[in-house]
Structure 1
Amino acid sequence: MELIASHRPRLEHLKLVVSLKDLNAIEGGSMPLLHHLNLEIANHSTPKISFGKLPLLRSAVLSDLAHLCVILPWVQLTSLVLDQVYQYECVPILQQTSNLIYCELRLRDYPGNTAVVTIPCLESLVLKSFKLSYTAEHLESFITPALRRLIISEGLLGHEPIRSLTGFISKSRAKLQEVRITGRRSVPKSSYREALQSVPRLSFSQREFGGRVGEDDSEFESDTNSSDT
């Protein structure tokens, strides 16, 4: 970590898998050129770590407990991935991300009681399931008027997936161009197509998002005109 600390002024991309104790070595130091941060922290304590001035930071991937351990200039971010998080933990962060364009959440467990958060500039929202063992509605926590692309596991749409989707679109007043439903489905494709006729591109994938964080599953996408199973 001391070596990384010595290179802080020149870093543009930084990926760390560390303990919070190790992270203390670079706390408070400015990284004036840092554009992307990928951070995984396996333990948590208070107070949170601040990286100091990060004037060019626009993209962050925070895994495990990292989102609970660091203070970042959230308002600067245009891309944010939070991996292995509870939805209620995301809300305080997302309330500060007014310039966010891309957001990906890999969610743990039941969402609990979460406040509604408006993300005005968000164009792409990806909701993945981390070891999904329940069915609960997650979209009710979001208002995204600029949204163009939604990728979501059906298990995160609650017990009435169609109602959840149409209610979300109506509430956000979003003009979605693409919706992709992933994982096991209880609702036939034809029902989605009938309910989402205003969406130009509707597709389905059997994959339950078990891959790497931030991984695009487009190559696994099924044909929208294939069988209704």
Structure 2
Amino acid sequence: MPANGLLFDDLPRRSAPGAHLLDGFALPVAAGLLQAVQAVTAAAPFRHLITPGGRRMSVAMTNCGRLGWVSDRRGYRYDPIDPESGRPWPEMPALFGDLADRAATAAGFPGFRPDACLINLYTPGARLGMHQDRDEGDLTQPIVSVSLGLPAVFQFGGPSRRDPVTNIDLVHGDVVVWGGAWRLAHHGVKELRDGSHPATGQRRINITFRCAGGGR
């Protein structure tokens, strides 16, 4: 286990460790991250996507980087073009890439170079159902997820929907990294409780980094 990482001790053991909570890892750069989020959303505003089944997602989102994750009646996919503007997604801020690389390295995944960054906006009542991140082109690379603002309960299961689910309290500055044997673990976020945070007000910002292109 890396010195800067905390293995999820209460998760059942599988073939290899690979799920880590880095307590407060992003705190030193949290203010800069939020400023960068403002710059990204000025060019590509938050929006509520529609699932292939026609449901409006309660979590608003946007993207930056070479590829952006989108959802509509045609399905889930990564696309280099923002469908709302018809332009490429904003460039990923250097601070984002640096943090993602350092967090992945601390969790035992050196050399992480994400090409996609999803920025999710939660307001009280928003939630994210249990799902797998499997639209990416390179499943050998980890997921790096940064929490800013209001606290949330992160739900982390396993590759099967029948696997036990662990509830993990996340606060401002926490980073979660999962990969390896845990890369296709089901995960979600419980309904966000009402509250206010000095940095974000009545909001939670989640910044998630992926390798989506598979080298293309």
TM over 0.5: no
Query: TM-score under structure 1 normalisation?
Result: 0.24
Higher Cα Rg: structure 1 or 2? 1
TM normalised by structure 2 equals: 0.24
> 1 or 2, which has the higher helix percentage?
1
Greater relative contact order, per chain length (Cα 8 Å cut-off, separation 6+): 2
